[in-house]
Amino acid sequence: MDNPGKFYITTPIYYVNARPHIGHTYTTVVCDAVARRQRMMGFDTWFLTGTDEHGQKIERSAVAAGCSPKEFADRVSGEFRQLWDRMKLTYDDFIRTTEPRHVQGVQALFTRLKEHGYIYKGSYSGQYCVYDELFVDVTEPGAPCPECGRTTETIQEENYFFKLSAMEEPLLKLYTEYPDFIRPEARRNEVISFVRGGLRDLSVSRTTFTWGIPVPGDEKHVIYVWLDALANYITAIGYGSGDPKDTAKLARYWPADVHMIGKEIVRFHCVYWPAFLLAADLPLPKSIIAHGWLLFEESKMSKSRGNIVRSETILDTLGADTLRYFLLREIVFGSDGSFSFDALVQRFNADLANGLGNLSSRTLSMITRYFDGEIPYPSLGARTAADDAVAELANQTIADFHVQFEQFQFSRALETAWGLVAAVNKYIVENEPWAVAEKEDQDSRARLATILHTSAEALRIVTALAHPVIPESTARIWEQMGLGDISRLDLRNLEWGQLPLHTKLGKVEAVFPRADKSTIERMQQMEQERAGQTTFTEPSVELKPTESVAAPVAAMQAPAAAPANKTITIDDFAKVELRVAQVKVAEKVKGADKLLRLEVDLGTETRQIVAGIAKAYDPEKLIGRKVVIVANLAPRKLRGLESQGMIVAASLGDEGVPVLAGFLEDVPVGARLK
Ligand SMILES: [Zn+2]
């Protein structure tokens, strides 16, 4: 087959201020499915993802978490990468904006924009939203951000500016000449009307914080985080590197074929990014595709609503393929889609377990039973119209699937493929191969061979089409069919009639696990438990940099516990296992007026703890209360009673009056404090 050329696809690089959740997974899985299919269509494919690690928000979050911005970024970037690796996503490169190759590339781009006359020094006075890392068009100090409603901060500083105003006409010309540059249409219209409304020059440097890439030659400035971040699409493939190997890579893959993004970052990608590229006289990406939001039972997932679903919960129960299939099948790409555990399990049962799973297991187990595990010859004489209809539908399915998938209509493409699954399952029921198998005559034997060959051939086609979306389970079906390594398959060459005859099946077994109501309950419980594990707190951005959300933790320590300037490492802290527990029993200890004997529920076990809080708390009032305990403290005896842990409390005044630590939000029992 001829070589169709290269294909370069990118996800946005994810801002390390938030830990990975299912929204990030959605974008990344879509790109992974597209990249896998492009490889199987013969394209020299390059799939890039990564993390965005600079900016004021990260600097503040790091202060709040008590670590350096780099340590903070390392931790969260690592979580993203681990998740993608656990899901076996096939990215070719993972760029971090703190890497030297990126820093040098961004500085090269900045210099080039300056040399081309698009950057000048000026002074900026106006409002800035730290949460969105966005200069906003509001004038009142402290006015709410028009994007997110958070309080904006007044910024008055000397900045470098980018002549965005000069780009109004070139951008409008671009949108008109290349109608596919922004998709879908609704997003394109938004962008056009935004640009028609007039563009003001953009401040592209900051001086009031340091966590960023220095402006070359003027190091007290750091480059605006969006200019920094957007450049990853070229720095990752060698822009700004002097190495000829990198230059060749850039020439090979740039411009990108697809930048896949969420609709909330359309302006940055469809206005700022092409403006920078035009000014730098670099080729523009071919298309920017914005998908909708994943809503959780109708409302946008957000940290403040506490309704973020983590992918790990689904990976641990139904597996990566189920999550991938759901995201591509259930959500109409480009529109908002809703996520719920009920819908996930329903989709799984209907399409995977009962649909494809059933087709695969009944077809392959009948071939095992009736033909000794060898795919039988179809027989011309035994052919009926029903067989021909399946063959015809299969060829039509291939054609339609390709067209729909290439138009990013993943849901429709999968619906098309599963139309074939349903048709073949019905064909099997109607042709009753198990009944035909009971007759021993030659004609019946030929008919049985034809039915099972037809089913297996359809199974081959649907398995191949679905492979980019559900790679693991289709690879297993492929192996069970005796067809070897599915990743070598050329998807351009799939049409009916290519199932190699007399192929020996592998070991046939169920590919999809079973799911029912208890699966939903398990997932909900896992989510609750994970919600309790606050690895770090995302501080509200309204905090002044000098304030620290770590303050309440410090207050738990007795004043004299440690000299203020003595620090411990994060590993030291990790040794202390703090958990949420609920008081079940509380009573006075005879002969000790300060002590209470408590029994607390840790979720997995009940502990007895003896605590010196009797003077401050009535035992009756403690029952049902959630407290924080040190769960891994060696047991010790107090007044003859074993105390299995310690309750955390602030200690006030010279007398050390205890005040129990607690939470404003409801937290599940057993949750760990980190
Ligand atoms: Zn905002």
- The token pair at 313 is 């919960």
Residues 273-308 pLDDT 10s: 999 999 999 999 999 999 998 887 656 665 555 567
Å from CA of 541 to ligand 1 middle: 10
Residues 6+ apart with CB under 8 A from 655: none
Strand locations in 417-506 (E): none
Centroid of ligand 1 to alpha carbon of 464 (angstroms) = 44
Q: What is the model's pLDDT at position 556? A: 26
What's the gap in Å between 232 CA and the centre of ligand 1? Answer: 23
* CA–centroid distance, residue 133 to ligand 1 (Å): 7
Separation of 164 CA from ligand 1 center, angstroms? 21
From 300, 346, 298, select the one nearest 322 (Cα to Cα): 346
Residue 299 confidence (pLDDT)? 61
Ligand 1 geometric centre to CA of 327 (Å): 28
More confident residue, 21 or 232: 232
Determine the distance separating the centroid of ligand 1 and the alpha carbon of 137, expressed in angstroms: 11
How far does residue 134's CA lie from ligand 1's centre (Å)? 7
CA 144 to ligand 1 centroid distance, Å: 8
Q: How far is the CA of 138 from the centre of ligand 1 (A)?
A: 11
Yes or no: say if 608 and 598 are a contact pair by the CB < 8 Å rule.
yes
Q: How far apart are CA 93 and CA 126, in angstroms?
A: 38
Residue 562 confidence (pLDDT): 32
pLDDT, tens digit (0-9, with 9 covering 90-100), for 316-344: 999 999 999 999 999 999 889 888 899 99
225 Cα: distance to centroid of ligand 1 (angstroms): 15
395 Cβ contact partners less than 8 Å away, ≥ 6 residues apart: 495, 496
- The β-bridge relationship of strands 299-300 and 294-296 is antiparallel
669: confidence class by pLDDT, cuts 50, 70, 90: confident
d(CA 59, CA 49): 22
* Confidence (pLDDT) at 2: 66
Tokens of 319: 């597996």
For the cut 90, the answer to whether the pLDDT of residue 215 exceeds it is yes
What's the predicted TM-score (pTM) here? Answer: 0.77
Residues 643 and 556: beta-carbon distance below 8 Å: no
Residues 6+ apart with CB under 8 A from 396: none
Q: How far away, in angstroms, is 145 Cα from ligand 1 center?
A: 5
**Centroid of ligand 1 to alpha carbon of 328 (angstroms):** 30
SS3 annotation, 370-434:
HHCCECCCCCHHHCCHHHHHHHHHHHHHHHHHHHHHHCCCHHHHHHHHHHHHHHHHHHHHHHCHH
CA of 180 to the centre of ligand 1 (A): 29
Binned at pLDDT 50, 70 and 90, residue 564 comes out as: very low
> What is the total residue count of the chain?
674
Residue 480 in tokens: 């069970």
User: Which pLDDT score, from 0 to 100, does residue 535 have?
Assistant: 40
> Is the pLDDT reported for residue 183 higher than 90?
yes
Q: pLDDT, tens digit, for every residue of 72-119?
A: 999 999 999 999 999 999 999 999 999 999 999 999 999 999 999 999
Ligand 1 centroid – CA 215 distance (Å): 25
- Distance from residue 183's CA to the centre of ligand 1 (Å): 24
pLDDT score at 627 = 92
Q: Which amino acid is at 239?
A: Y
The least confident of 337-351, 363-377, 416-430, 650-664 is 650-664
* CA atoms of 660 and 337, how far apart (whole Å): 43
Cα(539) to centroid(ligand 1), Å: 15
Q: How far is the CA of 214 from the centre of ligand 1 (A)?
A: 24
Compute, in angstroms, the gap from residue 32 CA to the centroid of ligand 1: 30
Tell me what pLDDT residue 603 has: 82
Which letter does DSSP use for residue 81 in this model?
A: H
What span, in angstroms and rounded, lies between the C-alpha atoms of 319 and 513?
9
Q: What is the pLDDT of residue 532?
A: 60
More confident call, 445 vs 574: 445
Is the CB of residue 532 less than 8 Å from the CB of residue 671? yes
Ligand 1 centre and the CA of 17: distance in Å?
14
Q: Report how far residue 332's alpha carbon sits from residue 409's, in angstroms, rounded to the nearest whole number.
A: 7
Q: What is the pLDDT of residue 558?
A: 26
What DSSP character marks residue 218?
Answer: E
R_g (Cα) of the chain, nearest Å:
30
Instruction: Name the nearest CA neighbour of 647 among 664, 633, 666, 665.
Output: 633
What percent helix, strand, coil does the chain show, rounded to 5? 45, 20, 35
pLDDT tens track for 352-380: 999 999 999 999 999 999 999 999 999 88
Q: Residue 555: which pLDDT band, with cuts at 50, 70 and 90?
A: very low
**Residues 240-252, mean pLDDT to the nearest whole number:** 94
- Ligand 1 center to residue 543 CA distance, Å? 14
154 C-alpha vs ligand 1 centroid, how far in Å? 13
Ligand 1 center from residue 131 Cα (angstroms): 5
Please give the distance, rounded to the nearest whole angstrom, from the Cα atom of residue 132 to the centre of ligand 1.
Answer: 5
Distance 27 CA to ligand 1 centre (A): 22
Backbone φ/ψ region at 638: left (φ over 0), alpha (ψ -120 to 50), beta: beta
How far is ligand 1, taken at its centre, from the CA of residue 129, in Å?
Answer: 5
Cα angle 251, 89, 337 (rounded to 5 degrees) comes to 105
Q: Confirm if 518 and 494 have CB atoms less than 8 A apart.
A: no
- Which range, of 225-229, 404-408, 640-644, averages the lowest pLDDT? 640-644
Q: Tell me the CA–centroid distance for residue 158 and ligand 1, in Å.
A: 22
Least confidently predicted of 124-133, 296-305, 458-467, 553-562: 553-562
CA 563 / ligand 1 centre spacing (Å): 39
CA of 26 to the centre of ligand 1 (A): 23
Lowest mean pLDDT among 260-264, 405-409, 634-638: 634-638
Res 536: pLDDT: 38
320 membership: H or E segment, kind and range: helix 320-330
Question: Confidence band (pLDDT; 50, 70, 90) for 533?
Answer: low
C-alpha dist (Å) from residue 377 to 182, 292, 380, 445, 456? 50, 48, 9, 11, 11
For residue 152, the CA-to-ligand 1 centroid distance in Å is: 7
pLDDT digits (tens, 9 = 90+) for 453-512: 999 999 999 999 999 999 999 999 999 999 999 988 999 999 999 998 889 999 999 999
State the distance from the centre of ligand 1 to the C-alpha of 151, rounded, in angstroms: 8
CA 147–ligand 1 middle distance (angstroms): 5
- Cα-to-centroid distance, 380 and ligand 1 (Å): 68
Taking the centre of ligand 1 as the mean of its atom positions, its distance from the CA of residue 481, in whole angstroms, is: 53
